[in-house]
Each structure stands twice: as structure tokens, then as C-alpha cells.
Structure 1
Amino acid sequence: MPNSQKLLTQKRKEHPILFNSEMINAILSGRKTVTRRIAKGDLLKSPAGKPGDVLWVRETWMDLANTGIYDADGKPQRYAYGANCLPGSASDEARKDFGLKWKPSIHMPRDVCRLLLEVTDVRLERLQDISPEEARAEGCPTASLKDPVGWYRSLWQSIHGQASWDVDLNVWVIHFEVLR
């Protein structure tokens, strides 16, 4: 984490970034500290900015205003996040009782964001150049530690399509630390 003097003297920009619920949980558990994004357009400009910049995470969410739903401390809950309410869970079933629907991450406004990440490193590389250590840092679950690159290849293909791995695109490798 940066010290307070560094925060005072540094001009930081904020950039939105999308993550699915599986990757949100990997970030929250400390397993995910890096992400790769396809390099598009200007290869000199990362979508995550530069080290020191902040990524505000967009995720699946819903507005709970006027529902009367309270947290464990008895305070009214304002928002719910998809990563905390897996399909079929008790909280997901309760959501249905109120007729509430999930809102896609792309529609999340900045003030609803609960997760901020500080960019610690950004570099450009080929997708298939990922090392086993970097694949683990992408959020690899313990069960896949024997072949983390294989796990990451499957994850990439599930997001970008079956043939996407073979194209071996340029990707931005973005390392981060959780701020909150």
C-alpha cells in the first residue's frame, strides 16, 4: 500500500475496469493480483493507465433502496453485489422475493463501486508468454495449481472464445494491489 506522503504528491487518474463474479472473489480472497486485457488501438496507452493510477471495479450489482433489507449490524443495505450472492444462494432467493434484478457491471456508476485497485505495474506482452507464476496471480484456484497456464487458457477461452488463445494477441499485463 502506498504511504500517505506518496498519495499527497502523486497525480492519480481513475479508470473503470470490469470483472466477473469469479474474478471479484479471487481478488477479495487475495488470489488475483494481475489481469490481462487485449491491447487495442494505441499500443503506447494502457487502458489501466500507469503505476499509481486507480482502477475502480465495475461488477454485477443491484440497488436495494426501499427494500427494508438490513445487514448483520442492523443497518439498511444500499447495494448488493453479484459476487456475494451466487445463483441459488439464500440471498439470491431473497432478492427474487422483492422482484429485484441484477444490473450488468457495465452499467455500474462510480459511486456504487466497492473495490478500488492501485496499479503497481503495466506492461505489454504476448498472451501465450504467461508464466505459471503469472497464471496463479490471475486467480488460479488451488485445484488447478498443477497446470496454472492450462487453467488460465481455459479461463481466457471462456471469456474471449475457443479460438482466442491460438491468436496469441498482444495483451496489457496489469498488476494491482487492493486499496479497499
Structure 2
Amino acid sequence: MVKAKELPILFSAPMVSAILEGRKTVTRRAVKPVRGYEEFDNCRPDKAAASHAVWWHGQFETVGAMQYCPYGKPGDRLWVRETWVADAQVDAVAPRDLSQGEPIQYPADGDVRQAGCAMIKPGKIRPSIHMPRWVSRILLEITDVRVERLQDITPGQITAEGVSTRGEAMWGSRWWVDAPDQAIEDARNGFSDLWTSTGGDWNANPCVWVVEFKRVTP
């Protein structure tokens, strides 16, 4: 039996909050070139769900998308990296040198983990990229992986991305069934803003990994 992998993944504070609230169950990440392969037309409608078409050594080849997903496959787990804070008295200590008994605060919602010592005073905000595994409080299990074009996102998937929409506030969890076109367009604009806020280019309509997940106990 193949053992499930555990990989880190970065989320912004608003997306961490959405995960904790149960509103975010999927993430989209740009497809990057695979070493030894050159991406080619890997988002054709007939290929997007389960395959990845590439140009390799002078010939086209279609391979399983999950084989190249850097975030894992269904059953694998993702431990979330987010901004974090240790006690001010250890501000000069590198993350790798911190004791695992240090109390940790999470700016996304202000939660504090008391693993031993009590926090005296919150210190500097530490970036998510420098979060050690033991500091992570959120563990996700991948339930599905596929490849599609960014702008192919559906209204339901916009909600699953954790984007709060006017349509959902007015018509409920399946808001797109009754919502007018303008509400759907507003939701797409909201997701477009989220994508560009992370440095992505919405207008380029790139191929993206669509990674669906559920939260599990760390």
C-alpha cells in the first residue's frame, strides 16, 4: 500500500479564515512546467479532467494529470503554512531553532496555542513561508485533483474557493441557481480580484491545478 504524502501549502490569512469556517474546500494554483516536459495544450476540454498533454522528446504524450501535480493526489495531505507569531522574547530566534514548547499565535483569527509556556507578549509577525511543520494547526486531505483553465471556474466553485458573494448572501448556498447574470458576473469579478491579489494574471487564463480538499485532524 502506497503511503500518503504530506506536503506544505501556503494560504493567506483570509483564506485560512475561510478554511477554518468551512467555506473553502478547493484551491487553484497555476500549472508550472514539469522538468523534462514542455506544457502543450493541457487544458483541452476533452483532456482537462484527468490528463495532461505534453510535448516530450519530439512527440505528443498524454499522461495522468495527478502524476505531475506538485500538491499531491487524492489521499495525500497538505499542512497549511500561514503567518504566525511567537513570543516577543524569542524574536531573534530563527524558526528552526525555536522550542516546540513555544506558544504560537495565529493572526488570521487571533487563536493562541499554548503548548507549554504561556505567551507573555506577541512578537513579530513571521511569514508563512518560514512556518515549521510543528507550528501548523491545519491539515487538509486532498479529495480530487484536475486541470482546467482558470476562467472555466463555475459559480459553485467560486463559493467553494471561499469567496463571499452577494449571490450567496441573498439566495443561499446554491445561489447561482436563482441568481441573475449580474450576480454571477460579480462573483467572477470577486474571484478574479482574489487571483490577481496573489500576483496571478486573470486575463492570461492560465491552466491551473484544481485541488479539492477536506479538513482533517492534525
State the TM-score, normalized to the length of structure 1. Answer: 0.77
Q: Secondary structure at the match of 2:8?
A: strand
Select which of 7, 25, 28 maps to 1:33: 25
Task: Select the structure that is richer in strand.
Answer: 2
Task: Select the structure that is richer in helix.
Answer: 1
Inter-partner Cα distance in structure 1 for 2:72 and 2:208: 14
**Deviations along 1:67-106, whole A, 9 cap, x unmatched?**
9xxxxxxxx97100120239xxxxxxxx9x9471010000
Instruction: After TM superposition, give the deviation of residue 16 of structure 1 in Å.
Output: 0.4
**Deviations along 1:14-46, whole A, 9 cap, x unmatched?**
110000100000001111000000110226411
Matches within 5 A, 1:1-180: 11-42=3-34, 44=65, 45-64=68-87, 78-85=103-110, 98=121, 100-143=123-166, 145=168, 146=183, 147-160=186-199, 164-180=201-217
Inter-partner Cα distance in structure 1 for 2:74 and 2:212: 9
Whether the 8 Å contact between 1:144 and 1:151 is mirrored in structure 2 is no
Inter-partner Cα distance in structure 1 for 2:210 and 2:17: 20
Higher Cα Rg, which structure: 2
Superposed CA RMSD: 2.5
Deviating runs (4+, > 4 A) in structure 1? Answer: none
Give the unaligned 5+ runs of structure 1.
1-8, 68-75, 87-94
Aligned partner of 1:78: which letter? P
Percent identical residues: 48
Instruction: After TM superposition, give the deviation of residue 47 of structure 1 in Å.
Output: 1.8
Count of matched residue positions in the alignment of Structure 1 and Structure 2: 153
> Which structure ranks higher in relative contact order (CA pairs < 8 Å, sequence separation ≥ 6)?
1
Inter-partner Cα distance in structure 1 for 2:124 and 2:149: 38
Whether the 8 Å contact between 1:115 and 1:178 is mirrored in structure 2 is yes
Give the unaligned 5+ runs of structure 2.
35-51, 53-64, 91-100, 112-118, 169-182
